[in-house]
Amino acid sequence: MKNKIAKKSLQQNRENTGEFKNNITDKIQKILIIRFSSIGDIVLTNSILKIVGKKYKNATVNYLTKNKFRSLVEFHPVVSNIIILEDHSSLIQLRNSIKKSTYDLIIDLHNSMRSKLITFGLKNVKRYKKHKIQRYLLTKFKIRIGEFFHVTQKYLETINVKEKINSFKLFLPSEEMIRENLRDKFQQLKKSNSVLGISVGASKPSKMFPIHKFIDIINSVGFEFDKIVFLGNGELEDKLTKLIADKIDFKSINLCSQLTISELILFVNELTIFIGNDSGIAHISAGTEVKTIAFFGQTVLEYGFTPVGNVEIIEPDEKLSCRPCGHLGHNNCPKKHHYCMEKMSSEKIVNKIKKFNL
């Protein structure tokens, strides 16, 4: 009986001092982190990379993602190797490759059917919880049940860390990755004292701030900046950007659909202020410690996908019964009025930009 008490006391003492936990973490020598897409989600996984590096000091950390997104994590000092999804002929081949690698810990930050298939039957798999029912009730019935957590907190829960992340660092590619035809524009930004970056696009049109409001805001603050640069990607965004550029009172640099993700990160890093929608570029901006203003219309903070850093989230001034209407977006506003964006105060946004630019 005394031996049992003594053993229990010793174990408790080890847990309190961290010795017991250190013994466990020291045994983990090889870690795989999984997140296939998209830009914003992968940027936010940088929050867990720093903590993984501290908690598992002796571990080699590999990261599985799509090739086009690799530059969002491959320069992080904790990441040893990027495993590319497309390099494997099938999910079965990828699963077999992962199995042969005998990871001590697999952290699934995607939690999709595909990520479950490639880790099926493998040991030591930890998946982040999406809380889909909570999100569904909020979207469909506007019912808020329980506490809502940011996705970075959910990521950290996979390694039993309870912590709120207020900022993290997105590690930059080398400037040598900028192609020759873009270097002059890049140097223009580097030599400027103040640069306003703008992205008018998002994953779906319903998440986009109205063009007429963008024009009004830029015309109200453009004189305060040495350079105005448009960023983004896609046919619709190209069209809308050209429309805005033709109607503002200032010259601008249009880089839409011209940059690789590595180049995008480097150009964004030279901004003074970024304004844009709930989009991947807003996350890159916050991750590079640029002052960021993001418009959240149909999406809400409770979804947990806001950019992390020096960020101002702009929401509609009025409480709307139709909001939120989904975290993924729609081709058109389901109610046909787009009040969630139209009812954002342009004056408030202008004042935020001016305050940020002091």
Residue 107 lies in a domain: yes
Residue 30 lies in a domain: yes
- C-alpha distances out from residue 117 to 77, 93, 122, 143, 221, Å: 29, 11, 10, 33, 50
Residue 291 lies in a domain: yes
Residues 147, 184 within the same domain: no
Q: Which of these, 175, 150, 196, 178, lies nearest to 40 by C-alpha position?
A: 150
Residue 180 lies in a domain: yes
What pLDDT, on the 0 to 100 scale, is given for residue 6? 47
Determine the Cα–Cα distance for residues 217 and 211; give it in Å rounded to an integer: 10
Amino acid letter for position 169: K
Total domains in the fold of the chain: 2
Beta-bridge mates of residue 293 = 275, 312
Residues 117, 241 within the same domain: no
Residues 100, 66 within the same domain: yes
Residues 202, 323 within the same domain: yes
Q: Under a CB-based contact definition with an 8 Å cutoff, are residues 279 and 203 in contact?
A: yes
Instruction: Supply 68's token pair.
Output: 């086009």
Give the domain CATH number at 115: 3.40.50.2000
309-342 per-position pLDDT tens digit: 999 999 999 999 999 999 999 999 999 999 999 9
Q: Under a CB-based contact definition with an 8 Å cutoff, are residues 167 and 245 in contact?
A: no
Residues 80, 144 within the same domain: yes
Residues 209, 305 within the same domain: yes
Angle at 129 between CA 98 and CA 167, to 5 degrees: 95
Residues 291, 186 within the same domain: yes
Residues 205, 93 within the same domain: no
Q: Under a CB-based contact definition with an 8 Å cutoff, are residues 292 and 282 in contact?
A: yes
Residue 168 lies in a domain: no
Residues 254, 151 within the same domain: no
Residue 162 lies in a domain: no
Residues 226, 303 within the same domain: yes
Question: Which domain-ending residue is among 130, 157, 184?
Answer: 157
Residue 328 lies in a domain: yes
Residues 243, 118 within the same domain: no
What pLDDT, on the 0 to 100 scale, is given for residue 192? 97
Residues 123, 254 within the same domain: no
Task: Identify each DSSP E strand in 162-297 by its residue range.
Answer: 195-199, 227-230, 253-254, 273-277, 291-295
Q: Which helix (H) or strand (E) holds 137?
A: helix 132-141
Q: Under a CB-based contact definition with an 8 Å cutoff, are residues 340 and 313 in contact?
A: no
Residue 67 lies in a domain: yes
Using a cut of 0.85, tell me whether the model's pTM lies above it: yes
What pLDDT, on the 0 to 100 scale, is given for residue 23? 62
What pLDDT, on the 0 to 100 scale, is given for residue 19? 42
110-169 per-position pLDDT tens digit: 999 999 999 999 999 999 999 999 999 999 999 999 999 999 999 999 999 999 999 999
Question: Which domain-ending residue is among 103, 125, 157?
Answer: 157
Which range of residues forms the domain containing residue 152?
A: 23-157
What pLDDT, on the 0 to 100 scale, is given for residue 26? 79
* pLDDT tens over the chain, length 358 residues: 545 544 454 445 444 434 435 666 778 999 999 999 999 999 999 999 999 999 999 999 999 999 999 999 999 999 999 999 999 999 999 999 999 999 999 999 999 999 999 999 999 999 999 999 999 999 999 999 999 999 999 999 999 999 999 999 999 999 999 999 999 999 999 999 999 999 999 999 999 999 999 999 999 999 999 999 999 999 999 999 999 999 999 999 999 999 999 999 999 999 999 999 999 999 999 999 999 999 999 999 999 999 999 999 999 999 999 999 999 999 999 999 999 999 999 999 999 999 998 7
